[in-house]
């Protein structure tokens, strides 16, 4: 959430002028540019829309999820599964689109740029995949326990 409401919010607010800015946050985005210029000086509607969605919608769902976890809310695992799947899916679609385009927005397809592209996005994909997997496991366990109890109750 910290990255979403700082670095990614900065991107959404200044996407149109990011390539001409010289402040600290713009320099951070410039380090990512060789891996994907669509997040620096060739911003497309796809990247702008994706980041806007995650900044203005997904981050609030993450905040709600943290609240649900702390309060041990009964809906916690359903919410966790939904947000985990959504973010994992969008990150994987983003990476797949980069791959299928032949990395058209990459300065040059090099190992360093590929590591930057996939490394910067791995925490989103893997972290949210873990959230989804953990929730699915907990939900499955709860249903399995109920199934066992209902079998014994019928006997």
User: In which domain, by residue range, is 134 found?
Assistant: 4-154
Tell me the C-alpha distance between 47 and 93, whole Å.
12
pLDDT band for position 155 (cuts 50, 70, 90) = low
**For residue 145, pLDDT beyond 90:** no
Per the rule left: phi > 0, alpha: psi between -120 and 50, beta: everything else, 122 is alpha
Number of domains in the chain: 1
Q: What is the pLDDT of residue 128?
A: 97
Q: Which residues contact 8 (CB under 8 A, 6 or more apart)?
A: 51, 54, 55
Cα 97–3–112 angle (5° rounding)?
A: 50
Predicted TM-score (pTM) of this structure: 0.86
> What are the two backbone dihedrals, phi and then psi, of residue 112, each rounded to the nearest 5 degrees?
-60, -45
**Total residue count of the chain as it appears in this document:** 155
């Amino acid at each position: 959430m910290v990255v979403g409401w700082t670095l990614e919010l900065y991107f959404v607010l200044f996407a149109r002028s990011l390539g001409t800015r010289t402040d600290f946050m713009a320099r951070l985005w410039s380090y990512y540019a060789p891996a994907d210029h669509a997040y620096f000086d060739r911003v497309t509607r796809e990247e702008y829309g994706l980041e806007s969605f995650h900044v203005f919608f997904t981050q609030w769902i993450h905040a709600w999820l943290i609240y649900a976890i702390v309060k041990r809310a009964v809906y916690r695992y359903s919410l966790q599964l939904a947000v985990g799947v959504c973010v994992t899916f969008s990150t994987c679609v983003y990476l797949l689109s980069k791959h299928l385009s032949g990395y058209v927005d990459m300065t040059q397809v090099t190992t360093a740029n590929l590591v930057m592209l996939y490394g910067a996005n791995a925490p989103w994909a893997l972290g949210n995949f873990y959230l989804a997997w953990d929730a699915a496991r907990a939900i499955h366990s709860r249903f399995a326990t109920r199934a066992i109890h209902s079998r014994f109750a019928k006997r």
